[in-house]
Structure 1
């Protein structure tokens, strides 16, 4: 074989094996995708997961090879029974979270899903055993109920929504 010809041209199968080996060695990141959802009064939808000590915003972890937008849409359907078209969500925040406790680093997305109509709010249901409750809260109530690092991320996403921007954060702090 001619060493001047790149591997991917000389031996496509060997190239694929090389890429697969590299892929197997690369670190994996957990990905979470949550949504800012408001009612007609601007209050934020919070959920009370049974498996956490504090309230959260709706959403959850992406499954293997699932895009973050698909993950948040799935979680919104599974937990509060909300069906929204992808076109109604806008990315507002991406937070890189450093390793902490038993967890490796992760990427946490927040999408803005806008305000629900009165009918949509009336149709919300606890459709998943993971949640104990849901409630629409003012920003002050949300700050009291959310863990500080979650509130930091959520407040950045709220500000990004006001400015029609996307904020990039490290551990809840804008970069």
Structure 2
């Protein structure tokens, strides 16, 4: 063993543990984004949720889309959009965002998960930017036509709402 080096198992214990979530940016052919409102959130977000043990972020995003809005989306229909390193007083997390464009016929088959999702809406970029609603970081990022890439955010829980601000962004090809 080299001087100053810990055995691998001991070194791992010194590292941050980060949970992960995944979400799916789903657009219709008109370029509008599907947003959902979970009953327990103060803001609109994308269909998505936690990555379960033994599951990849892509598998989680596809599973969550099926659970929350009843849409079966295949791996072949999605592309990678972004990964976010999110920090808050509660800890650190990674969020993986994937993107899919689905036709109106499939989007007409949306069925909300009654135990979690109260409502959904399709929003244009202009509607997001003009709105006073609260949104997850990824929605205004999308609305500003920003490319995918690496994002760092900071989550602050206020008295009556949660706010998440982008603190760093590195786009693909930057």
TM-score (norm 1): 0.74
The runs of 5 or more residues in structure 2 that have no matched partner are 2-6, 154-165
Partner of 1:6: none
Shift of 1:155: 4.2
1:147 counterpart (96, 113, 135)? 135
- Cα RMSD for the two superposed structures: 2.4
Q: Does 1:174 align with 2:163?
A: no
CA gap 1:40/1:131 in 2 versus in 1, 3 angstroms: same
1:44 counterpart (33, 52, 57)? 33
Q: Distance in 2 between matches of 1:148 and 1:74?
A: 20
Q: Distance in 1 between matches of 2:120 and 2:76?
A: 24
Q: Which runs of 4+ in 1 moved over 2 A?
A: 18-27, 140-156
Q: Does 1:78 align with 2:78?
A: no
Q: Does 1:67 align with 2:56?
A: yes
Shift of 1:126: 0.7
8 Å CA contact 1:95–1:170 kept in 2: the answer is yes
CA gap 1:112/1:89 in 2 versus in 1, 3 angstroms: same
8 Å CA contact 2:85–2:93 kept in 1: the answer is yes
1:97 counterpart (62, 71, 86)? 86
8 Å CA contact 1:95–1:153 kept in 2: the answer is no
Shift of 1:65: 3.5
Q: When you count helix as a share of all residues, which structure comes out higher?
A: 1
Cα deviations across residues 131-175 of structure 1 (Å, max 9, x unaligned)?
Answer: 00111111133342343734454447x532xxxxx4111223313
8 Å CA contact 1:36–1:45 kept in 2: the answer is yes
CA gap 1:117/1:152 in 2 versus in 1, 3 angstroms: closer
The runs of 5 or more residues in structure 1 that have no matched partner are 4-17, 161-165
Q: Distance in 2 between matches of 1:54 and 1:77?
A: 21
Which has the larger Rg?
A: 1
Q: Distance in 2 between matches of 1:77 and 1:147?
A: 21
TM-score (norm 2): 0.75
